[in-house]
Structure 1
Amino acid sequence: MRERDGAGTAEQAPPEYAAGPGGLAPAEGAPRWARPAWVRLIVMLVLFVLVEGIVSAINSALDGNAVAGLLLGLVCAGLVLWGYAKAVGLLEHRQVAELARDGAARSVWRGTLAGLGLFAVTIGVIAMFGGYGIAGWGSFGAFVACLGLMCAVAAVEEVLLRGVLFRIVEEMTGTWGALAVSALVFGVLHLVNAKATVWGALAIAMEAGLMLGAAYAATRTLWLPIGLHLGWNFAEGGIFGVTVSGNGDGPAGLLKGTLSGPVALTGGGFGPEASVVAILVCGVPTVLLLRRARRDGRIRPRRRRATAGR
C-alpha cells in the first residue's frame, strides 16, 4: 500500500498509507473484523454523524451567547479531533498522521487566512455587480459566537468528510473516486438546511467539496482543510453577515449583509456559496492543490484486487 516514486523510497509515501508500528499498513494492524475498508467506513460515519447532530443541538440551545458559544465551540472541536484519533487507533492500530502535531498550528492559520481571503474576493466580486450590500452593524457578541460555532463545524465536517469518508473511500477507489464521492456527499448533506436548494448543494459540492478534498490530498493532513473551512464560513457569517449554506438562523456577525439580484450572482436564499462567482473563485486553489498533489506523488490509483493464487 506504499506510494513509491521513481527511486522506490518509502519515506515519500503519503502519511496515512505509510507503514505503522511494526511495519504494518493501517488495516493490517486492526482487529480482523475492522480490516475491510467498508466496515471501518460505516462504523466511523455513524459515530461522527451522531457527533454532528450533538454539536448542532448544542448550538441551537446556546442561541448566540458569545462567551459560551466560543468556549463550547473550541471544546467541541478539540473533543472531535481527540475522538477521531482514538477511533482510528482502535480500528486501525496506527499513528494518526493526518493529525500530526508538527506544523499543525501553521497549517490551520494559513488555511484560515486563505479561507477568509477567498470569501472576501467572492463577496467583493458580487458587490461589484450590485449583489451585496450592508444594512447595518450586527454585534460583536454574534461575531464571537459565530467563531466558536464555525470552529466546531469545521472540525466535525472535515473529520467526517475528509478524515473518514475521503480517506477510506480512497483505499477502494483511488484519489479521484474519493474526491468525487466526498464532494457529492458534502453537497447532499447541505440539503437538510432550511433554505437549501439542489443547485446550492451542487454548487457547494463543486467549489468547497472539491477544494477541501484537494487540500487533504495535497497535504495528507486535516489541518489545511479545517483552516480553509473555518476561514470561509467565519467570513461568510461572522464578518459579512450573509446566509451560510442555506442556514440563515445563525448569529448575524459584525455586519448585516443583504443579497439582491440574479441567483447566479448572489446564490439566492442559499447564500453566496450557490453563486457562479464562488465556483470560479474556489476553482483556482482546487486546481493548484491538485497539481501539487500530483507533483508530490500523492494522487493514488484505484487499488487492484489481488488475483487468485497470488
Structure 2
Amino acid sequence: MRLLKQLVAVAVVAFAGSAAVGAVQGNAVLTLVLGVATAALAVFVYARVVRWSERRAPVEVAAKGAAPSIGRGMLIGVGMFAAVIVNIAFLGYYRVDGLGSVAGAAGLFGFMAAAAVTEELIFRGILFRIIEERTGTWLALVLTGVLFGLSHLFNPHASLWGAIAIAIEAGGMLAAAYAATRTLWLPIGLHFGWNFAAAGIFSTEVSGNGTAQGLLNAVTSGPALLTGGEFGPEASPYAVLFGALLTIAFMWLARRRGNLVPLRRGSRAAATAGLAR
C-alpha cells in the first residue's frame, strides 16, 4: 500500500519532530532549529519514500523553483491573514498594545515551519494526490478538505464550526493551490505564511491551540461569531470568505492550465483499489 507507506514515513518524522520541539519549549533558538530541521527532514523522507514506492521522481518537491514558489505562497498567506485581522480590527475587536517578543516569533517560525510542511506532505502530497488519481480533483478536494477539518477537532479549544471553517478555507484552498501548480511548495508557503502571521506576527489564537506571543502585543475580543472566539480568527467568517475566494481562483487556474483530473465512474471502488496498492 503506497499510501500507507508514505503516510507512516512522514508521520514518524512529524511525531518525532513534534516531540523534540515540545521538549525544548521555551528555548526560542532550539525551537527554531529543530522546527526547520523537522521540515527539511520531512521533505527528504517524503521524496525518498515516493521514489521507492512509486518508482518515479518526486517532482512535486523538486528543488528547482522551490524558493520563489514558497515565497509567493508566504505572501499570499500573510496577506490573507492580514486582511482578516484588518476587518476584525475595523470593527474594534482587535487592537495592538505595543511590541511583543522577537524571540517568541523566532520560536514560532520553527514550530510553524514544521507544522506546515508535515501537514502539507500528508494531506496534499499523499492523501489528495493519491485519492485524486482515482476519483478526480473535485472529489479529492472535498474528501481531503473534510479530513483536514476533522483533524483540527483534537485541538484544545476546538469547535465544530472551527473544523468546518478549516475544511473550507484551508482544506479546499490548499488542495486547490496544489492542483493549480502541481507543486507542494506553493501550498507549503501559503500554509506557513498564514500560520506564522496568525501566531508570529499578530499574536492570535491558532486553530484553538492558545494565544501565542509574536511580534505584536495584541488583544482580540468581541463576539465569537466574528472573531472566531477561542478557536481564533480562522473561525471568523472573513477567513472562510477569503479562503473560499482563493479556492475558486486556484481551481479556475487549474482548469485553465488543464490540471484538473475529471470525476471518474465507479470512483469509490477505484479509490479503494488504488489505496490498497
1:271 aligns with 2:232: yes
Q: Distance in 1 between matches of 2:257 and 2:133?
A: 18
1:230 aligns with 2:192: yes
Deviations 1:249-280 (A, max 9, x none): 6x411123322112121000000001101011
Q: Distance in 2 between matches of 1:202 and 1:55?
A: 27
1:53 aligns with 2:53: no
Contact 2:100 2:215 in 1 (8 A): yes
Cα distance, 1:49 vs structure 2: 2.9
Q: Distance in 2 between matches of 1:66 and 1:98?
A: 31
Secondary structure at the counterpart of residue 218 of structure 2: strand
Cα distance, 1:136 vs structure 2: 4.2
Q: Map of 1:56-71 to 2, 5 A cutoff? A: 56-71=18-33
Deviations 1:90-144 (A, max 9, x none): 1001011101222111000111111111100011101111221234432110011
Query: Which residue of 1 is the match for residue 56 of structure 2?
Result: 94
Contact 2:112 2:196 in 1 (8 A): yes
State which of 138, 145, 156 in structure 2 corresponds to 1:176.
138
Q: Distance in 2 between matches of 1:48 and 1:261?
A: 39
Identity %: 51
Query: Which residue of 1 is the match for residue 246 of structure 2?
Result: 285
Q: Distance in 1 between matches of 2:136 and 2:4?
A: 18
- Give the alignment's TM-score, normalised by structure 1: 0.83
Q: Distance in 1 between matches of 2:8 and 2:264?
A: 25
Contact 1:171 1:303 in 2 (8 A): no
1:165 aligns with 2:127: yes
Q: What is the one-letter code of the residue matched to 1:283? A: A
Where structure 1 has 5 or more consecutive residues not aligned to the other structure, the ranges are 1-38, 306-310
Q: What is the one-letter code of the residue matched to 1:110? A: R
Q: Distance in 2 between matches of 1:43 and 1:126?
A: 43
Structure whose CA Rg is larger? 1
Query: Which residue of 2 is the match for residue 299 of structure 1?
Result: 260
Query: Which residue of 1 is the match for residue 44 of structure 2?
Result: 82
Cα distance, 1:304 vs structure 2: 4.8
Q: What is the one-letter code of the residue matched to 2:32? A: L
Deviations 1:129-160 (A, max 9, x none): 12212344321100111111111111100000
Query: Which residue of 2 is the match for residue 73 of structure 1?
Result: 35
Query: Which residue of 1 is the match for residue 102 of structure 2?
Result: 140
Larger proportion of helix: 2
Q: How many equivalent residue pairs?
A: 267
Cα distance, 1:62 vs structure 2: 1.6
Where structure 2 has 5 or more consecutive residues not aligned to the other structure, the ranges are 267-277
